[in-house]
Structure 1
Amino acid sequence: MQIRIAIIGAGIAGLACADVLAAAGAQVTLFDKGRGPGGRMSTRRVDTPAGQATFDHGAQYFTARAPAFAARMEDWAQAGIVARWPEAGEDAWVATPGMNALPRHLAMAHDVHQGALVRAMARKSDGWHLGFEQGSQGGFDRVVVALPAEQAAALLGMCDLSFGREAVACRSAPCWTGMFVFAASAGLPPLLRRQGPIAWAARNNAKPGRSGPEAWIVQADEDWTRARLEHDAATVADMLLRELETAAGEALPPVLSAVAHRWRYARSGNAGHGFLWNAQLGLGACGDWLAGPRIESAWLSGHRLGETMADSLGPALVGVAAQ
């Protein structure tokens, strides 16, 4: 009998975990509240008079230092899914043609339900049951919560108080992100770091595999964001545009589009566990908040949890995988 596993969250951690479990022969279903997989590895498209602009408005790049992740990176590079971005550092990589290309590639191998917000979960006599805004699904043998700590806390706390406490104690840093399209070159270097309240600014169309009009990402630092966390997006976009102009030291070209996005859980904390696994309940948790605020850490967290779960499932799963 095939083992059924539900993974809540289709970001890099959840998808990495799904890869291992599916390869071992489990029937894996992922549930994600977003419109597409990837979480903070997001890409937004905006139509402007100068053409369509794209923005990697979440994670800007990632590194590959651990052997397991580096090996996968080489595979993805050969497939044209990732490319080096030397301007950001010797070991910096980006997905192409947008950061969401990598999670989309990983998700193609799995049964992913988008727009599926899990509000509750409980272990019953016939397995795990997940509650949604409308209806529920049950009969899962194992459940993995692959969400930011703040979102994971409530779900984990319903079933394992110690897991819930770990999530509550691990706080994320928020980030306001501005996305701007200009009618001409802004006359700035392709990257800016630590310019006043600007933690990071980059010309998105200068990244490998990108094209389109002059498109800039501007990410505010944590203190600036917290002081304006509940401001409306239009106001924040105008403020970040002025900060970019201050960094430029001169007037910017005419603006064709100005949008801001608030990431409440932009940069994770680090609980230092790698992942969480309760074998008795069949409940796991993975994500960058357990391993460190990097894409690589999120992948490693999910990958290692998947390995542990596959080992713990024993002959039933091994027998299926061998068929």
Structure 2
Amino acid sequence: MSSVLSKVAVVGSGISGAACAWSLARNGVSVTLFESARGPGGRMSQRREIAEDGKELVFDHGAPYFTVSSTDVLSLVREWESKNLCAEWKESFGVFDCFSNQFSSIEQEGVSGRYVGTPAMNSICKALCHEPGVESKFGVSVGRMEWLEKDNSWLLLGIDGQSLGQFEGVVASDKNIVSPRFTNVTGRVPPLDLNLIPDLATKLQNIPAIPCFALMLGFEQPLTSIPVRGFSIMNSKVLSWAYCDSSKPGRSSSSELWILHSTMEYAEKVIAEYGLQKPSDATLKKVAEELYQEFQSIGLSIPRPFFMKAHRCSS
């Protein structure tokens, strides 16, 4: 592989970008990874919050878990397990129907096939981004990507216009670098001009954007009225998924931590009203209260949490 491409840029440090960078480096390619956030993870990122009493709370507010559907990926997961980077989440899961107010399809504990990073979802990405041969640059946003015909390479520029380097190849793990939504959020044109790659433009149009709000909750006592540790929610226009984050392997918390995910329909409604820019504190407080009220309304005797905060985890 190194005889074909020797210097590659990877944009985005979610699980796909991090795994790509790691795989390229293992095959002798010099990789520079760019991530606009302070650390790796993407949808598998982690948030640290401080409660009013000063207690630190840690939430996996994005993807709650991942599954394995191929033998190649399973071999990777086994390698990560051997390094204590992930573990199977052996809890019971189910489905809650808001029409009948009942749980159904409750899985037997220990047979879920759901995996999580340990001690946090972003542990895998952190490890992959620091593999030999991968130079990771966090807090660096790619503002423009230009093809230099005479050099047969890509020039990457930061949002300030300064050069980030020239690369023989670029891997973009984030659709936003070509999406009009990038302009709606940042006020700038997308980094990559799709006129340069019309075939790719057609394919990208078929990739949906799925917005979601997450609500992080902290409870003093276990929610004993809920018979499972995670469940999808049917027939709700507000909530799609709820899970006990502190029940994951490798977590240490004296409190019970839950995360709720909104439906796409609800998130789109909020975005239509307030826009794609970073939500204000007032907007997030309103979202938090609406998600919590829906959680309470399903009739499971949910107490008032000591900590509650909403976050837009994708747009």
TM-score (norm. length: structure 2): 0.78
Q: Which one of 146, 159, 174 corresponds to residue 173 of structure 2?
A: 146
In structure 1, the partner of 2:156 is 130
Listed as ranges, the gaps of 5+ residues in structure 1 are 266-323
In structure 2, the partner of 1:310 is none
Q: Which one of 290, 298, 315 corresponds to residue 239 of structure 1?
A: 290
Listed as ranges, the gaps of 5+ residues in structure 2 are 94-110, 180-189, 275-282
In structure 2, the partner of 1:179 is 216
In structure 1, the partner of 2:81 is 77
Q: What residue identity is the alignment partner of 1:234?
A: K
* Distance in 2 of aligned mates of 1:151 and 1:121: 9
Q: Which one of 22, 25, 28 corresponds to residue 25 of structure 2?
A: 22
Match status 1:226 vs 2:268: yes
In structure 2, the partner of 1:54 is 58
Q: 1:146 to 1:251 in 2, by over 3 A?
A: closer
Larger proportion of helix = 1
Q: Is the 8 A contact 1:156 1:164 kept in 2?
A: no
In structure 1, the partner of 2:114 is 92
Q: Is the 8 A contact 1:121 1:158 kept in 2?
A: no
Q: Residues 164-196 of structure 1, C-alpha deviation per residue, up to 9 Å, x if partnerless?
A: 232233222111110111233333332232152
Q: Is the 8 A contact 2:156 2:166 kept in 1?
A: no
In structure 2, the partner of 1:40 is 43
Match status 1:65 vs 2:69: yes
- Which secondary structure does the structure 2 equivalent of 1:86 belong to? coil
Match status 1:112 vs 2:136: yes
- Which secondary structure does the structure 2 equivalent of 1:121 belong to? strand
Q: Which one of 167, 190, 207 corresponds to residue 170 of structure 1?
A: 207
* Distance in 1 of aligned mates of 2:242 and 2:46: 16
Q: Is the 8 A contact 2:43 2:62 kept in 1?
A: yes
Match status 1:203 vs 2:244: yes
Q: Is the 8 A contact 1:84 1:91 kept in 2?
A: yes
Deviation at 1:39, TM superposition (A): 0.6
User: How many residues are paired up?
Assistant: 263
In structure 2, the partner of 1:193 is 232
- Which secondary structure does the structure 2 equivalent of 1:238 belong to? helix
Q: 1:158 to 1:194 in 2, by over 3 A?
A: same
Q: What residue identity is the alignment partner of 2:82?
A: Q
Deviation at 1:24, TM superposition (A): 1.7
Q: Which runs of 4+ in 1 moved over 6 A?
A: none
* Distance in 2 of aligned mates of 1:160 and 1:216: 43
Q: Is the 8 A contact 1:145 1:152 kept in 2?
A: no
In structure 2, the partner of 1:263 is 313
Q: 1:261 to 1:249 in 2, by over 3 A?
A: same
Q: Is the 8 A contact 1:122 1:158 kept in 2?
A: no
* Distance in 2 of aligned mates of 1:57 and 1:163: 31
Q: Residues 258-290 of structure 1, C-alpha deviation per residue, up to 9 Å, x if partnerless?
A: 11111334xxxxxxxxxxxxxxxxxxxxxxxxx
Q: Residues 76-118 of structure 1, C-alpha deviation per residue, up to 9 Å, x if partnerless?
A: 1111111111225521111111101111111111211111111
Q: Is the 8 A contact 1:193 1:201 kept in 2?
A: yes
Deviation at 1:144, TM superposition (A): 1.3
Deviation at 1:152, TM superposition (A): 3.6
Q: Is the 8 A contact 1:150 1:171 kept in 2?
A: no
* Distance in 2 of aligned mates of 1:156 and 1:99: 33
How much is the aligned-residue C-alpha RMSD, in angstroms? 2.0
Q: Is the 8 A contact 2:146 2:156 kept in 1?
A: yes
* Distance in 1 of aligned mates of 2:193 and 2:17: 15
Match status 1:13 vs 2:16: yes
Match status 1:250 vs 2:250: no
In structure 2, the partner of 1:214 is 256
Q: What residue identity is the alignment partner of 1:250?
A: S
Q: Is the 8 A contact 1:6 1:144 kept in 2?
A: yes
Q: What residue identity is the alignment partner of 2:113?
A: D
TM-score (norm. length: structure 1): 0.76
- Identical-residue share of aligned pairs (%): 30
- Which secondary structure does the structure 2 equivalent of 1:173 belong to? coil
